[in-house]
Structure 1
Amino acid sequence: MDGTESHRRGVASQEPGVEDRMLASSDEKGNKGGDDRVTLKKEIGLMSACAIIIGNIIGSGIFISPKGVLEHAGSVGFSLIVWVCGGGICALGSLCYAELGVTIPKSGGDYSYVTEIFGGLTGFLLLWSAVLIMYPTTLAVIALTFSNYVLQPAFPNCLPPYVATRLLSATCVLLLTWVNCSSVRWATRIQDFFTVGKLLALCLIIIVGMVQIGRGYYDALRPSAAFEFIREPSAGQIALAFLQASFAFSGWNFLNYVTEEVVEPRKNLPRAIYISIPLVTLVYTLTNIAYFSSMTPEELLESNAVAVTFGEKLLGMFSWVMPISVALSTFGGINGYLFTSSRLCFSGAREGHLPYLLAMIHLKNCTPIPALLVCCSATILILCIGETHDLINYVSFINYLSYGVTIAGLLYYRYKKPKLLRPIKVNLLVPCAYLLFWAVLLVFALWSEPVVCGMGLVIMLTGVPIYFVGVYWQNKPQWIHSIVEVITFAGQRLCYVVFPQEDPDSTAPVEMEEKSEL
């Protein structure tokens, strides 16, 4: 595909009724005043940008992954090293994404960059795996964690009922979908508020843990005990420990999905990364240290809810604070994932890789309602299927695969277009170091868990025939175009949406003389 322009030309020639109705709607109902374009609004400042990154990273992962990291790392000391190194690797990746974000200033993150650099098929495979499994599954895991922690005080001696957790999870997802459909501003305010809330919850864990350490309760953290192996880890097991930690750190690249809605992205995108990633790494490391101040490694491995076990041991009659705090944390995580993953669907549709309807936004609210409804529906479907925790390794593997392909694209793009304007240009050692770690991690993960990682590859490769039938095949029968037109028009009427009128220069890379490295 030739990107947005070819897609628009195709729609104009094949579906004139839809295009005419969209333009008529825009003329009749569009914003009045100096700028009457219907487009995504730049309403995300530096604070909201930091909240999106922190809010998406800190979800359910820090309350789920410590058990998996410790289990695969084999000792307390190695597990803490994994958490610190995991944050460092995220920082390297974030610097690379900052360069890509201001060089190719499109919403859509990895997908938009890979499509621009490598072409339609590679971009579509990333989009396919993300829409099919990565984000709906992650949203479902976070929503289930939310409902389990909310219901836990009502069922102190047993697991909450299956139906109750699913209903509460679905209700939460539907509520936040409605908020995101109604207003970008309200969605970002919720993100800001709950990001502060989840940081306060983790600060409570850290402060209580530090008090315990000050009182001398740190046997598991002593050098002699910290590297005492529960089981001898292999290189493959350490790789799986990093994959478990990567689930807790996933979301570090999500600000790149909404680049077009960030105020002054060339300044605020890198600033938000520099503030958020070190802060999250510090909080995660201190949280794990706090866990070990009150739990032995064996107790942590036996716990199904680490934060609840921590609260029960140290907070006594106030132990109810912990499940409520985790619920608030995960509620903000659901909002952040909905906000950003819907922009991925929006970007994919704008490039012609998903149905055209998903590239439309509400005429008054300027929110991508069809894309949000698709994300919501996919998440609820996965909630109804059954347990999603077994898919975490699939998600982590596909995530790392996507990151590596995207950062390899940065190196190729420098070779392909050396004179392109790059307001941020990282040292070559940064992407090379990330790719070296990425390659070692994936090789050992494949060696240790060939079935799990192989299934991740299979899920991604199932998109190849879909791409050739749905995207590459241009001369489809007229009856197919007629059905698409009817569905698109019905969707427009139902959701009150039109295709956004963009500034033609706002998302175009700019060529100029190469500048020196920063």
Structure 2
Amino acid sequence: MARVSVGDNLVPKESFGNNDRDLATNESVGSSSEGIKFKKQITLLDGVAIIVGVIVGAGIFVSPKGVLIHSGSVGQAIIVWILSGLLSMVGALCYAELGTMIPKSGGDYAYIGVAFGQLPAFLYLWVALLIIVPTGNAITALTFAQYLLQPLWPNCTPPVEAVQLLAAVMTCVLTVINCYNVKLVTKVTDIFTGTKILALLIIVAAGIWYLCAGNTENWSEPMRGSLTTPGSIALAFYSGLFSYSGWNYLNFVTEELQNPYKNLPKAICISMPVVTIIYVVANVAYFSVLTPDELLSSEAVAVTFGNKMLGFMSWLMPFFVACSTFGSLNGAIFSSSRLFFVGARNGHLPAAISLINVHCFTPIPSLIFLCVISLVLLFIPNIYSLINYVTFVEALFTLMSISGLLWLRKTQPKTERPIKVKLIFPIIYLITCSFLVISSVYVSPIEVGVGVAIILLGIPVYFLTIKYPIELFSNISQGINLWCSKFFLCMPNQEKFD
């Protein structure tokens, strides 16, 4: 069987389908021997908007109380928010070195693969595919639907079926937008990033006005009740870091970023301080207006804040939460679909997912694949509980990526590094992340056990489908690939990387 190179692996040529020659006649595509590539359409501003847009999701509006619960005091909660932002900034700078040294889309998947080999990279892809990405997308979509529908049921919770249906429609609409045009995606991201920043500025302004009016009683004893056990500190940081999650999503789309060697670190250095400052000041506003008991009893802190401070304009907060989650999901779909695209291009997922549409230059099969998994998870009871099982796993693989940075410095010291951070940064992140991972074993043994089980389940899958593939699986994959090539007018991406 003839084989052609795709990325760093070999894929059966027949799996590309028999219509490659016909598709290649499109002038914008080029010859079939070269395949097609993503266009570099993401500017520096778009990159900043993607990072801010993905990070600022529902978390800061809905559940900052998680940090307060495990911190025990307002003062310590603010400290955790500041340190979580600084730690995320350190991690983002480390990823800037990895992203410019390894200019491949895919983020952690690409870095772990280069540093430690195919099996660890596949295990990250496996966990991301099974739970991390689609669960995050499903929760964001459900949050959007919940707050958009809430005004229609002012005295009770909207029906579950209505929430799920609207969430499904939203997911499908954003998938269509992502399939159609990358520039349209970035425009949507830019608009809704501006909207959510406006919402946070309203919260900040209202909080400052409240403080200037002399209402400082909530800050009389800011450190009273602080929890100092390692387990409590770890859980507080988990809650804080969860609200900052998404700082590495621009690394998923490096191949589409204009001048990534300059714009990737610039986007990180602009967006992370902005998000940290806004988050900290927003929390100061929350704690100034709401008592700890009010904040802890609230299901949506921003909505409770709005009801107390905005009067007849309180409807703005549910609207802004919906806008925030809409923009966040749009950025997450765009970025995470590239992760699965790269995994398929490297032979770790069915080859159909690595196809690119010849007109739109978007990975339509990957986007639809992600949409289907997210839709399935929308209708699983207690989907929010799944987050608890993968928080440990996410921290573990981030730890592995940063370890890969140190390992590559030792094993490949002469490799060109357009960005090279000071050694103290990855060491700080490594020590902190190790503390969180080890602490979670004692604090949440059940969640950690489930997370480890999901990882280990990926090992036999790797050997049965990739290392020693069963012929039946290969035939099914080739059939799906051929159908997708014809139905979606797609070609394989065959860009090579050294």
Show the counterpart of 2:350.
Answer: 355
Higher mean alpha-carbon deviation, 268-277 vs 399-408, is at 399-408
| Aligned partners of 1:134 and 1:395 also within 8 Å | yes
Show the counterpart of 2:83.
Answer: 85
User: 1:32 and 1:301, CA in 2 relative to 1: closer, same or farther beyond 3 A?
Assistant: closer
Quote the Cα distance in structure 2 between the aligned partners of 1:418 and 1:277.
28
User: 1:317 and 1:5, CA in 2 relative to 1: closer, same or farther beyond 3 A?
Assistant: closer
Quote the Cα distance in structure 1 between the aligned partners of 2:124 and 2:475.
29
1:443-482 aligned within 5 A: 443-474=438-469, 476-477=470-471, 479-482=472-475
Quote the Cα distance in structure 2 between the aligned partners of 1:461 and 1:361.
32
Quote the Cα distance in structure 1 between the aligned partners of 2:385 and 2:475.
41
1:168-247 aligned within 5 A: 168-222=166-220, 225-229=221-225, 232-247=227-242
Quote the Cα distance in structure 1 between the aligned partners of 2:270 and 2:121.
29
Q: Secondary structure at the match of 1:462?
A: helix
Show the counterpart of 2:45.
Answer: 47
The superposition leaves residues 379-431 of structure 1 with CA deviations (integer Å, 9 ceiling, x where unpaired) of 11111112322222223222211111000000001111111000111111110
Show the counterpart of 1:318.
Answer: 313
Q: Secondary structure at the match of 1:498?
A: strand
Residue of structure 2 aligned with 1:31, choices 28, 37, 62: 28
1:361-376 aligned within 5 A: 361-376=356-371
Letter of the 2:53 counterpart: G
Show the counterpart of 1:486.
Answer: 479
Show the counterpart of 1:11.
Answer: 12
Matched, 1:70 2:68: yes
Post-superposition offset of 1:21 = 2.3
Q: Secondary structure at the match of 2:379?
A: helix
The superposition leaves residues 196-231 of structure 1 with CA deviations (integer Å, 9 ceiling, x where unpaired) of 111001111111111101111222223xx21111x7
Matched, 1:421 2:416: yes
Letter of the 1:68 counterpart: G
Quote the Cα distance in structure 2 between the aligned partners of 1:44 and 1:483.
35
| Aligned partners of 2:90 and 2:425 also within 8 Å | yes
Quote the Cα distance in structure 1 between the aligned partners of 2:388 and 2:426.
24
| Aligned partners of 2:24 and 2:31 also within 8 Å | no
Show the counterpart of 1:254.
Answer: 249
TM-score, normalised on structure 1? 0.92
Quote the Cα distance in structure 1 between the aligned partners of 2:322 and 2:153.
15
Quote the Cα distance in structure 2 between the aligned partners of 1:233 and 1:299.
23
Residue of structure 1 aligned with 2:18, choices 21, 26, 30: 21
Show the counterpart of 2:131.
Answer: 133
Show the counterpart of 2:157.
Answer: 159
Show the counterpart of 1:146.
Answer: 144
| Aligned partners of 1:22 and 1:499 also within 8 Å | no
User: 1:226 and 1:144, CA in 2 relative to 1: closer, same or farther beyond 3 A?
Assistant: same
User: 1:182 and 1:293, CA in 2 relative to 1: closer, same or farther beyond 3 A?
Assistant: same
Letter of the 1:466 counterpart: V
| Aligned partners of 2:35 and 2:492 also within 8 Å | no
Quote the Cα distance in structure 2 between the aligned partners of 1:19 and 1:373.
18
User: 1:233 and 1:65, CA in 2 relative to 1: closer, same or farther beyond 3 A?
Assistant: farther
User: 1:267 and 1:22, CA in 2 relative to 1: closer, same or farther beyond 3 A?
Assistant: farther
Quote the Cα distance in structure 2 between the aligned partners of 1:87 and 1:350.
34
Residue of structure 2 aligned with 1:108, choices 96, 106, 109: 106
Letter of the 1:61 counterpart: G
Quote the Cα distance in structure 1 between the aligned partners of 2:291 and 2:169.
37
Q: Secondary structure at the match of 1:29?
A: coil
Quote the Cα distance in structure 2 between the aligned partners of 1:25 and 1:409.
42
Quote the Cα distance in structure 1 between the aligned partners of 2:62 and 2:449.
23
Aligned residue pairs, count: 494
User: 1:238 and 1:496, CA in 2 relative to 1: closer, same or farther beyond 3 A?
Assistant: same
Letter of the 1:42 counterpart: K
Show the counterpart of 1:59.
Answer: 57
Q: Secondary structure at the match of 1:427?
A: coil
Post-superposition offset of 1:160 = 1.1
Q: Secondary structure at the match of 2:64?
A: helix
Letter of the 2:169 counterpart: T
| Aligned partners of 2:16 and 2:478 also within 8 Å | no
Quote the Cα distance in structure 1 between the aligned partners of 2:473 and 2:59.
43
User: 1:210 and 1:104, CA in 2 relative to 1: closer, same or farther beyond 3 A?
Assistant: same
Letter of the 2:240 counterpart: A
User: 1:384 and 1:111, CA in 2 relative to 1: closer, same or farther beyond 3 A?
Assistant: same
Show the counterpart of 1:440.
Answer: 435
User: 1:24 and 1:328, CA in 2 relative to 1: closer, same or farther beyond 3 A?
Assistant: same
Quote the Cα distance in structure 2 between the aligned partners of 1:83 and 1:496.
47
Letter of the 1:243 counterpart: Y
Quote the Cα distance in structure 2 between the aligned partners of 1:282 and 1:269.
20
| Aligned partners of 1:56 and 1:336 also within 8 Å | yes
Residue of structure 1 aligned with 2:489, choices 478, 491, 496: 496
Identical amino acids, percent of aligned pairs: 43
Quote the Cα distance in structure 1 between the aligned partners of 2:44 and 2:336.
20
User: 1:37 and 1:31, CA in 2 relative to 1: closer, same or farther beyond 3 A?
Assistant: farther
| Aligned partners of 2:51 and 2:271 also within 8 Å | yes
User: 1:331 and 1:5, CA in 2 relative to 1: closer, same or farther beyond 3 A?
Assistant: closer
Letter of the 2:23 counterpart: S
Task: Report the RMSD for the aligned CA atoms in angstroms.
Answer: 1.9
| Aligned partners of 1:363 and 1:497 also within 8 Å | yes
- Can you give the 5+ residue segments of structure 1 that lack an aligned partner in the other structure? 509-518
1:329-408 aligned within 5 A: 329-408=324-403
Letter of the 2:161 counterpart: V
Post-superposition offset of 1:20 = 5.7
The superposition leaves residues 151-207 of structure 1 with CA deviations (integer Å, 9 ceiling, x where unpaired) of 111112211111111011111100000000000110111011111111001111111
Quote the Cα distance in structure 2 between the aligned partners of 1:205 and 1:6.
49
